[in-house]
Amino acid sequence: MREAMLYESLEEGKVQCRLCAHRCLIKEGKRGICGVRENQGGRLQTLVYARAVARNVDPVEKKPLFHFQPGSRSYSIATVGCNFRCLFCQNADISQMPRDLTRIIGGEFPPEQVVETARKSGCRSISYTYTEPTIFFEYAFETARLARSAGLRNIFVSNGYMTPEALETIHPLLDAANVDLKAFTDTFYKEQCGARLEPVLESLRKMKALGIWVEITTLIIPGLNDSNEELRDLARFIVELGPETPWHVSRFHPTYRLTTVSHTPVATLRRAREIGLQAGLHYVYTGNIPGDQGENTFCHNCGKLLVDRYGFSIGHYGIKNGRCPDCQAAVAGVEM
């Protein structure tokens, strides 16, 4: 347990958390929506500092990040808890544990050990992932600080629901982020995730303005966020962020509390990809369908195949000094 960052003490022993866009007002002895930040005697405490519930060596493509240190490995850590309650969460056993089971678990894994393990594993970065990294901000911040000193990059895989204050605090240490832009309607966010759309859009704008490398993922769920109109609106928003911003459209599989909806048809993902390209995006990728052509990177200028992928593995890699070898068009991203 450790005193939290980014909160304000109020009258009558209350505190207001300023970490995520919920900005929870928390009474003495109570916890925020995330379930892992508790008001103890008028001080906000994080209950998950250095308590890792998951740790793995992953290809960076699994985040997914296709334009950030491609082909490298990233050391991935998580704690329990989340500030969303997505009905379709693929990691609900750990993200929703504080809410569903009123339990907080995790083995002691201090930041110094995380960085040393990542370095010895040959990783080029550390990813704060699997659950929402914003809710274990203090743990991520200290680990990221040590990682930067050790020459490692830092990655957030996030729902994007942090406050501007949180982003301003972490951004000098944060190199890249994959943000789930789960839909483009407030109704979806409220009914499916217990959140709102606009704070996510604000975070994406701010990340881009701060110079953080950003890729966006949308899980396409049949009947909920897959209309042509919504996909076009979402793609146009990403174009406004910057047409070089990669968009990953991923296949839904029934899980957690959304088991009555069918798997996303492959044709739907291909339609979403085409909508993104027509809107002006340079890079749109299909996810959860290994072997699909939509996994590959093509030059946005001349159409040459630049990176051939199968799942999270790279076969051919043809980018030369950040450019297409045929037409010399710049390929956006961060190379090794």
For 175, phi then psi, to 5°, come to -95, -35
The domain limits of the chain are: 2-46, 51-288
Q: Model confidence at 336, in pLDDT bands (50, 70, 90)?
A: low
Task: Spell out a b/e string for 90-117, using b for 16 or more CB atoms within 10 Å of the CB, else e.
Answer: ebbebbbbbbeeeebebeebbbeebbeb
Report d(CA 112, CA 103) in Å as an integer. Answer: 26
Sole residue written with tokens 């200290």: 142
Report, as an integer, the average pLDDT of 193-211: 98
pLDDT value, residue 335: 84
What 3-state DSSP class applies to 147? helix
pLDDT tens per residue, range 281-326: 999 999 999 999 999 999 999 999 999 999 999 999 999 999 999 9
> pLDDT of 139-158, one tens digit each?
999 999 999 999 999 999 99
Task: Calculate what percentage of the chain has a pLDDT beyond 70.
Answer: 100
pTM beyond 0.85: the answer is yes
Mean confidence (pLDDT) of the chain: 97
Class of domain 51-288: alpha beta
**DSSP H/E element including 183:** none
Backbone angles phi, psi at 229, to 5 degrees: -65, -45
Over residues 171-196, the mean pLDDT reads: 98
What SS3 state is found at 251?
Answer: strand
Per-residue pLDDT of 23-62, as tens digits, reads 999 999 999 999 999 999 999 999 999 999 999 999 999 9
**β pairing state of 176-180 and 51-52:** unpaired
pLDDT recorded at residue 214: 98
With a CB cutoff of 8 Å and minimum separation 6, the contacts of 7 are 15, 16, 17, 18, 19, 44
First to last CA, the chain: 36
92-118 pLDDT per residue, tens: 999 999 999 999 999 999 999 999 999
CA 199 from chain centre, in angstroms, equals 14
Residue 10 has pLDDT above 80, yes or no: yes
